[in-house]
Amino acid sequence: MQGQGDSAAHIQAPGRVTDVRRRNLALVLARIGPDVLASRADIAAATGLTKAAVSSLVTDLLATGLVEELGVTRAGGRGRPGVGLALDPRRGAVGAEVNVDYLAAGIVDLHGQLRVHEVAEAANRGRAPDEVLAELSELVARCSARAADAGMTLLGGGLAVPGLVDPGRGTVLTAPNLVWHGADLSAALTGLAQPTPFGVVLSNEADSASLAELWYGCGASLGSYLFVSGEVGVGGGLVLAAELFSGPGGHAGEVGHVVVEPGGRRCSCGGRGCLETVAGQEAILAAAGITGGGSTTAERMSVLRSALTAGDARALAAVAHAGHCLGIAVVSSARLVDLSAVVLGGHFATLAAWLRPALLSSLDDFAPGLIAPGRAVFSELGATAALRGAAGSVLRRALAAPYELLD
C-alpha cells in the first residue's frame, strides 16, 4: 500500500509543481516595480525563494516581455552588484472611453504612464452603438499605430462606458444618457484592437476611474473611499480596502442617483430629484443660464469657468448649489458603507475652486466630522481617469498572471 501511495503522489506532482510555479512567477513579478530596480538577490531575500529558483523564474518573466534587465544594483546596498530588473515600459494596454459628448482612447504602459492620448468630440446620445464603436475603433487604431511606432507591444484593452454593464457578455445593460439599453458590444470589442493576449474588456466608466485613482492617483493614500465623477451624468464607485466593491449585481456606487431634492426634476433614470439633476454638467449649465445654442458641452463649460472667474452671481450660485447637493449625496453614501474619504473627478475637479467651499460646508452640516476637509480630495487625472483605469485593469491582470504570456 505504501508503494501505491508513493506512486500516486509521483503522478500528481507535475500538476502541483505547475501551480506552484505559476504562483511563484506572480510572487517574483510583484517584487519588480517601475521605479526601484530589484536584483535577483533582492528578490530571493524578500520572497524566501532560493537564488536558483528566482533566477529560473526571472528567465521566464523576461520571456513574457513584462520585465527588462536594466542597470546594476546591489542587494541591500552590499555585496556583489547584480543586474537590475524593472517592468518594461514597452508593454502596455489600450484604454478607450465612450461618453455622451466625446470619445477618447489612449495607451498606458506598465509604469502607469499615459503614452498616447486622443480625444474626439462626438454627440453620442441616441446614436447606434455600432456607429459609435466604429468611430472609436478609428481612434484606437491611430493610438495603437503611434504606440507601435514607439516600439510598444499591447497586451489587451479596456472600454469604459457611462452605464451598467455585463463584462462577461460584453453588453451594456442600460446607459440612460446614451439611450443604450441591452446593447451587445461583444463583436465590436473583438474588433476594437488588434488581437492581443488578454483581449478587450467592457467596464463602467466610474468604476474604471475609481480604480485609476487607486493605482495612479490620490486613492492609494486613502485606501477606502467614495469616488464621484461629474460628466453629463454623475457616476460613482466604491473602493473598500483597496478593492473595488461592485455589489452583487455590479451596480454599487450609483451615487448620481441618490435623491438630494425630493420632488425635484425628473432624472434620466426615471426617478426624481437625483444628484445628477442638479450637479450634472447640463444641470449646472442650465442653472447658470449658459445654454450656448449649438456649442459643445466642453465649450459651454469653458464659458462657465470664465463666468465664475468674473464673479457672475448666477454661475456662482449654480455651482454652490451643486456643491451643497453633492455633499448631501456624499454623506448619505458614506454613512451607509462607513467611509471617511471622497475623491471627486470630472467637472467637479475642474470646478474645485468654486465647488469646494459649498461642498465642505454641506459635509459639515449633515455629518460633522465624518469626512475631514483633507479627505475630500479632487482628482488630478483629469479627463483621462476612466481610460487609464480601463487599460490598468488589463495590465493588472497581466501582472497577476504572467504565465498566460508563456508558450
Instruction: Give one word for 263, left, alpha or beta, with left for phi > 0 and alpha for psi -120 to 50.
Output: left
Alpha helices in 77-180 (DSSP H): 129-149
| 32-61 per-position pLDDT tens digit | 988 767 889 999 999 999 999 999 999 999
CA 392/CA 389 separation, integer angstroms: 5
Q: Please check the confidence at residue 74 and state whether its pLDDT lies above 60.
A: no
- How far is it, in rounded angstroms, from Cα 290 to Cα 145? 39
Distance CA 25, CA 403 (A): 7
- What is d(CA 401, CA 29) in angstroms, rounded to the nearest whole number? 10
CA–CA gap between residue 354 and residue 100 (Å, rounded)? 24
> Does residue 222 carry a pLDDT above 70?
yes
> What pLDDT is stored for residue 30 in this prediction?
92
Q: What is the pLDDT of residues 283-309, one digit of tens each?
A: 999 999 998 655 778 888 999 999 999
When pLDDT is averaged across residues 256-261 and rounded to a whole number, the result is 94
Residues 6+ apart with CB under 8 A from 57: 21, 24, 25, 28, 49
Q: Tell me what percent of the residues of the chain surpass a pLDDT of 70.
A: 91
pLDDT at 376: 96
